[in-house]
Amino acid sequence: MDNTSQPARAPDALVQSAIQHWAPRFVANGIALTDFQEVTGGITRWQEWCAAWCRRAALHEELGRKALADGFRLSAGEHLTRAAVCYHFAKFVFVIDYEQMRAAHMKAVECRTLALPLLRLAGERVEIPHEGTKFAGILRKPDGAAKPPIVVMCMGLDSAKEEMDAYENVFLARGMATLSFDGPGQGEAEYVLPIRGDYEAPVKSVIDWVETRTDIDAGRIGLWGVSLGGYYAPRAAAFEKRIKACIALSGPYDFADAWEGLPELTRETFRVRSKCKTPDEARRHAATLSLKGVAEKITCPLFVVAGKQDRIVPWQDAERLAREAGGPVEFLLIEDGNHVANNRAYKYRTQSADWMAQQLGLPRR
For residue 102, being part of any structural domain is answered with: yes
For residue 5, being part of any structural domain is answered with: no
Which of the listed residues 120, 151, 174 is the one where a domain comes to its end? 120
Can you tell me the distance from the alpha carbon of 35 to that of 186, in angstroms, rounded to the nearest whole number? 25
For residue 4, being part of any structural domain is answered with: no
Whole-Å CA distances, 122 to 115, 169, 175, 179:
8, 11, 14, 12
Q: What is the domain extent for residue 20? A: 10-120
Q: Are 97 and 149 contained in the same domain?
A: no
Q: Are 75 and 193 contained in the same domain?
A: no
Q: Are 128 and 92 contained in the same domain?
A: no
Q: Are 270 and 195 contained in the same domain?
A: yes
Please check whether residue 155 is in contact with residue 180, taking contact to mean a CB–CB distance below 8 angstroms: yes
Rounded CA Rg of the chain: 20
Give the pLDDT confidence score for residue 1 in this predicted structure: 43
**Parallel, antiparallel, or unpaired: how do β-strands 221-226 and 243-249 relate?**
parallel
Q: Are 87 and 55 contained in the same domain?
A: yes
For residue 262, being part of any structural domain is answered with: yes
Which of the listed residues 120, 148, 173 is the one where a domain comes to its end? 120
* pLDDT tens, N- to C-terminus, the chain (365 residues): 444 454 467 889 999 999 999 999 999 999 999 999 999 999 999 999 999 999 999 999 999 999 999 999 999 999 999 999 999 999 999 999 999 999 999 999 999 999 999 999 999 999 999 999 999 999 999 998 889 999 999 999 999 999 999 999 999 999 999 999 999 999 999 999 999 999 999 999 999 999 999 999 999 999 999 999 999 999 999 999 999 999 999 999 999 999 999 999 999 999 999 999 999 999 999 999 999 999 999 999 999 999 999 999 999 999 999 999 999 999 999 999 999 999 999 999 999 999 999 999 999 99
- State pTM to two decimals: 0.95
For residue 2, being part of any structural domain is answered with: no
Q: Which residue from 279, 298, 171 is spatially nearest to 224, judged by alpha carbons?
A: 171
User: What CATH number did the domain enclosing 19 receive?
Assistant: 1.20.1440.110
Which of the listed residues 91, 120, 149 is the one where a domain comes to its end? 120
Q: Are 217 and 338 contained in the same domain?
A: yes
For residue 158, being part of any structural domain is answered with: yes
Q: Are 235 and 286 contained in the same domain?
A: yes
Q: Is 115 exposed, middle or buried (0-12, 13-18, 19+ CB in 10 A)?
A: buried
Q: Are 113 and 148 contained in the same domain?
A: no
Helix (H, G, I), strand (E, B) or coil at 249: strand
Q: Are 27 and 76 contained in the same domain?
A: yes
User: What CATH number did the domain enclosing 127 receive?
Assistant: 3.40.50.1820
For residue 161, being part of any structural domain is answered with: yes
Q: Are 240 and 103 contained in the same domain?
A: no
Q: Are 143 and 104 contained in the same domain?
A: no
Cα 62 to its chain centre, rounded Å, is 25
Q: 311-330 in b/e burial notation, b at 16+ Cβ within 10 A?
A: ebbbbebbbbbbebbeeebe
Q: Are 139 and 286 contained in the same domain?
A: yes
Domain total for the chain?
2
For residue 3, being part of any structural domain is answered with: no
